Amino acid sequence: MGMIITAAATALPDPQAATASVVDLAGRAAREALARAQVPASSIGVLINVGVYREHNTFEPAMSALVQKEVGINLDYVADPEPAAGFSFDLMNGACGVLNAVQAGQALLETGSAERLLITAADVHPGGDADRDPGYPYADLGGALLLERSADPHAGFGPVRHYTADRPTDVEGYLDTDTMGRHGRTAITVRREPDHAERLDEFAASAVADYAHETGIDLDRTLVIGPSAASDGTGASGEPHTAAPVIGYLRAMDGERPDGHDQILFVTAGAGPSAACVLYRPEGW
């Protein structure tokens, strides 16, 4: 262990803006996380962006570079190479993206490649307003986690494990080229089977059991943050997608901790079907 969450934050669309933007949401969540940690943007060595859905179905250039510019993270690495040059990249694996980024962050911080790492996760309907599309299940929402190394060897993240179900996926998000017409940049098709939620919960529970068996953790003293982290309390309509672990973490830290629970288990599950789990021990728990 050794990599901890220094700060976390979420962001909702600006009510004064005509449409939502993943760069704006991720940028505002990141700046809020930095403000809560009271550290400058120049101290961030790596930014990993894991959002999936974007306004206008934008895929290039890398969203991470635009978020890096929005946050103001070392925009001139020649003039300001210290304390961090500022490297960013996109990592897309749907609902499991945040935990994939945690795994990459562990390697980067462990080797000393960076002192601080920022993970951003934001999803926006391609049309810029999820409320206008009743068939689109996800919320326009952004989240950010600020990570750094801890001097406490007993605090931080454990190993990340990934699991894949031996059955066809029951959720897909894609561009329907036969029907999109001239509005393709603002349209997306999300298909989910009627029993998707139940099957996803069952798969997530199976992943938790496997993770506990593999790593030997005691679930009786573990607070589980699952894939169904609700958007209640965020003000967003629709389900959180890639930002769900951030919401779950904030709710866990703000709520009353059950007696005897001294660790957190992050669980994500989504299309594939695939799932990921990682144990986390906050400092001071």
The C-alpha atoms of residue 51 and residue 106 are separated, in whole angstroms, by: 19
Distance between alpha carbon 213 and the CA centroid of its chain, in Å?
25
| pLDDT (tens place) for every residue of the chain, 285 residues total | 589 999 999 999 988 887 899 999 999 999 999 999 999 998 999 999 999 998 888 878 899 999 999 999 988 767 766 656 678 999 999 999 999 999 999 999 988 878 899 999 999 998 888 888 888 899 999 999 999 999 888 899 999 999 998 888 888 888 777 766 677 777 888 888 888 888 889 999 999 999 999 999 999 999 999 876 554 555 567 889 999 999 999 999 998 888 889 999 999 998 888 999 999 999 988
Where in the chain are the domains? Answer: 3-152, 158-281
Q: The sheet that has 87-90: what strands, in order across it?
A: 3-11, 141-149, 116-123, 46-49, 87-90
CATH fold for the domain made of 158-281? Peroxisomal Thiolase; Chain A, domain 1 (3.40.47)
Task: Please list, in sequence order, all residues whose beta carbon lies within 8 angstroms of the beta carbon of residue 185, skipping any fewer than 6 positions away.
Answer: 56, 57, 126
| CATH assignment of 3-152, among 3.40.47.10, 3.40.50.1820, 3.30.565.10, 3.30.70.270 | 3.40.47.10
pTM comes to: 0.91
Query: Fold match between 3-152 and 158-281?
Result: yes
